[in-house]
Structure 1
């Protein structure tokens, strides 16, 4: 019966072909020829510049070299309107979102640290007491792993797609800037131990560091840069994009040149707050490419690098300082050397690089006030104390607020569940109280956010940042350019564009030159890489591929 059916089907197709040929006299279209192998770059390099506001691409553009940021913009594709789709906008959340294509509601990294209501303990994003330091003396700095991240990363998916033949390595001064991008299945993640000046890892990855890391640690390169001090790269009177050299509202009062020689062999951690921290990070990245043969065969490797000194300098001095401008001008030169190294070692056109940021930063309140612009600061401790006092006076409940953290109010549920007043009543009263505090724009019971009067963009960002098992009970929104922190220096974490508008530039293999002003999100980076590499998206992905960037 099957043979008869097949014969009838064949005769029908043959007759249809003759009829078509007789009427159209055309040759049927040939099927598309597919390549013998899936085309991929030899190496993908992810560059995250910690605390880089989008406008830094252009604020210092005229002073950049042709081979650094300008090369990215002119040879690559700039996705000009890229935003973070959640709040709070912190380092750990940002690095995780970039590489997972997901949001804290799904991937679970809701802050750099958070209070876990289930264990009733404060949790650091990459802490892991089951592992220990490798590459230096044992310390809590090495008790780190990606275990708190609940989803896969694009780097994990590359490992899976290549049957674990493609190498993945993460490098950053910060443990969270290295570990979270590298993912769960990484070959290695290395971060800087400020107490010793060593680059370390943990037993999650290996039992001992490779020889090239051990030899690099012996150099103690921080001392080399301390000996140079920190002087401006160009004459200081040319830094016209910055305020005067020293301002009372800067976190560290100091004028150029910054003296560093006193740190030699004593304070290795001080390198973080200088542009030299970026230099040694990219130096180690080049050494990793050389020593691990990254990008040397047809199996795609991935190097995830985070430049963290921009964040330390930004926090201390603010976006309008000479220190910030000089740090970016020096980073530009470091990138030029790094791209030239990639051209030489991997081959121009053989690698794909993308540059983005984990968050931006607010202007320093003192700077804003100096220029008659609204701004201010609040304190987590003051918020919690004031709310506890109010609730105690109103309902006779003692210290029912555990803490204010990550723009959230966290209640002691042992007390709210057993008290005479319902939790809903306590939350409602708390929301109304918070709305009246100086610097507060709004507050909302997260369980009732759909019923709130918040702007839709705020609702979406708060919802995306809310993890049902890790987040607090009330979220509060501050007035623009108000933040939780000190009156000197700056910080980030809010929904506003200065914190959430980030640069995103792709360059190299598979990328065309150009730019787009279409709105995209940080969550779109991972699925774009997945589409480019023809691999699966991370398993918590909520973003979409950015189709404008590709040559195909």
Structure 2
């Protein structure tokens, strides 16, 4: 490997690209993903924390810090002190702006929020670099605003994400003429009918219809879109193609990697996540997506090659994922199941209220879902709050789908975990994504195989977010022209990525507030960490 600093760092996150998916499809890769396997491969990477969601996962990649330090404890959390009626906070919004609302960030009718990285409490690698090297640029392009903002940080030279119709940038900014051309091209085709993708030979055996309720099924869809089907765009490989097209355009337009100093380009690819949620991880749809992703990354790397850019590429994921239980039970996972619809803040809170004979119209508990952070309403005195907490934790713990219930005060008192990440306890994994100012009074952990989606009526059939390895384990790969390939099967962490890339560009980010360590990418006697 060259000892010269690369002119461009390309950090790619493939949303929901688990180590399981990587292992399952690795032998079929022939293009971009194949190239990455010819570099330094760490197949047992870990998003080491328990809150394995998009925002926390992306916050670790370019900061080198666990979510417990980045402050990004989940995609959404509760802040009972904010002024607006809806107390839910989105990880990539600035709720201080008057008139904003959370709404439902994942729905078509989302809230009117201002996308922002202000919740991110630590700097990213790109921010650190541009602070000491003014000629360097820090750029992020992603499918989701939270991916771009968490990898780019508060200070970027250019940042873009897809809003459902086009690529936009941070409030107060405007897209460049080059990105506007990308948007114009998309606008002309987004709502047009699209024929199905061809089915690769290795995917034929995956074509099997799986019913999941309400007369709906998955497993036999090749991403054909009807006229007016723009809402289905994100649920297809075309989505990643558009994100990479925007990234290529920005790279050319800004001449990234062609100046005097090193630039950083963070790219967040989101289609794998949307496909996983809508169709699961083990069917025809995901097989087609893996094949398309391999080819699209190959085209992206070819553009960088043709420009003569000396770049280092890193690819990982923000989290993994679990297949829908209806198919998992047919494939040997007998304990796979959907969560009990009554396992939630409202129903458990009502049961606690009845047992304690509390006369109040206020809800006792607040949460964003059946698992994760639970908050006790602020209207109670300390004694009542303690009783509510004890009873609620006991009721959750008694539920047959709950693995454990962890006390927030106990987690706060724990040190940040160290040692082999695969050996961390559930409490240690939860501590890594616990922040005392944002996390709940207690946290609920579901058992392995429990999908926290009670009904598939809204279109999501599978998800992630647990402390279990199917959600924690992600591949980590580094590639640079001329490097000697090697594979290291032992565990590493996504918080190791930023220190590793930092060492390549002469930027030491080790020290207080950084949980990762530099990984030596040279297979010989030389170390890239020195």
Task: State TM-score, norm by structure 2.
Answer: 0.86
Runs of at least 4 residues off by over 6 Å: 139-142
Which residue is 2:54 aligned to?
91
Q: Is the 8 A contact 2:16 2:320 kept in 1?
A: yes
Give the structure 2 partner of residue 145 of structure 1. 116
Q: Partner of 1:545 in structure 2?
A: 518
**Alpha-carbon distance in structure 2 between the residues aligned to 1:352 and 1:226:** 37
CA distance in 2, matches of 1:329, 1:132: 44
Q: Which residue of 1 aligns with 2:170?
A: 202
| Matching residue of 1:11 | none
**Residue pairs, 1:74-473, within 5 angstroms:** 74=38, 76-119=39-82, 121-128=87-94, 130=97, 143-163=114-134, 165-194=135-164, 197-203=165-171, 206=173, 208-220=174-186, 223=189, 226-234=192-200, 238-239=202-203, 242=206, 244-249=207-212, 253=218, 255-263=220-228, 267-347=229-309, 350-372=310-332, 373-378=334-339, 382-397=343-358, 398=360, 399-403=363-367, 405=369, 407-417=372-382, 421-449=383-411, 456-473=424-441
User: How far apart in 2 are the matches of 1:226 and 1:485?
Assistant: 32
Deviation at 1:270, TM superposition (A): 2.2
Task: Give the secondary structure class of the aligned counterpart of 2:308.
Answer: helix
* CA distances 1:411-435 after superposition (whole Å, capped 9, x unpaired): 1022243xxx443343223222211
Structure 2 vs 1, CA of residues 183 and 240 (structure 1 numbering), >3 Å: closer, same or farther? same
Q: Distance in 2 between matches of 1:101 and 1:510?
A: 26
Cα deviation for residue 331 of structure 1 reads: 0.7
| SS of equivalent residue, structure 1 residue 363 | coil
Q: Is the aligned partner of 1:518 residue 2:527? A: no
What is the CA-CA distance between 1:42 and the residue it aligns to? Answer: 0.6
Cα 1:451/1:190, change in 2 over 3 Å: closer
Q: 1:501 to 1:413 in 2, by over 3 A?
A: same
Distance 2:11 2:288 in 1: 23
For structure 2, the residue ranges without an aligned partner over 5 or more in a row are 101-109, 415-422
Q: Which moved more, 1:480-489 or 1:79-88?
A: 480-489
Cα separation, 1, equivalents of 2:351 and 2:99: 44
The reply to whether residue 73 of structure 1 matches residue 34 of structure 2 is no
SS at match of 1:545: coil
In the aligned structure 2, how far is the partner of 1:277 from the partner of 1:396? Answer: 52
Describe the superposition over 1:232-268 as per-residue Cα deviations: whole angstroms up to 9, x where unpaired. 3425xx42563x33211287658444431322xxx53
Structure having the larger proportion of residues in helix: 1
Q: What per-residue deviation string (whole Å, max 9, x for no partner) do you get for residues 140-165 of structure 1?
A: 678212111111111111111212x1
SS at match of 1:212: helix
TM superposition shift of 1:389: 2.6
Q: Where does structure 1 lack aligned partners over 5 or more consecutive residues? A: 1-37, 134-138
Give the total of aligned pairs. Answer: 490
Larger radius of gyration: 1
Deviation at 1:383, TM superposition (A): 2.1
Cα distance in 2 for residues equivalent to 1:99 and 1:329: 27
1:222, 1:49 → 2: CA distance? 27
Counterpart selection for 2:447 from 458, 479, 493: 479
2:388 counterpart SS class? helix
| Structure 1 residue 371 displacement after superposition | 3.6
- Residues of 2 paired with 1:439 and 1:382: CA distance? 9
Distance 1:122 1:173 in 2: 23
- Secondary structure of residue in 2 paired with 1:220: helix
CA distance in 2, matches of 1:232, 1:56: 20
Q: Give the structure 2 partner of residue 527 of structure 1.
A: 499
SS at match of 2:344: helix
SS at match of 1:518: coil
1:230 positional shift: 2.6
Q: Decide whether aligned partners of structure 1 residues 385 and 281 sit closer, same or farther in structure 2, where only a CA change above 3 A counts.
A: same
In structure 1, how many angstroms separate the alpha carbons of the residues matched to 2:486 and 2:434? Answer: 35
SS of alignment partner, residue 414 of structure 1? coil
Deviation at 1:451, TM superposition (A): 10
Deviation at 1:131, TM superposition (A): 11
- Counterpart CA distance in 2 for 1:448 and 1:380 is 28
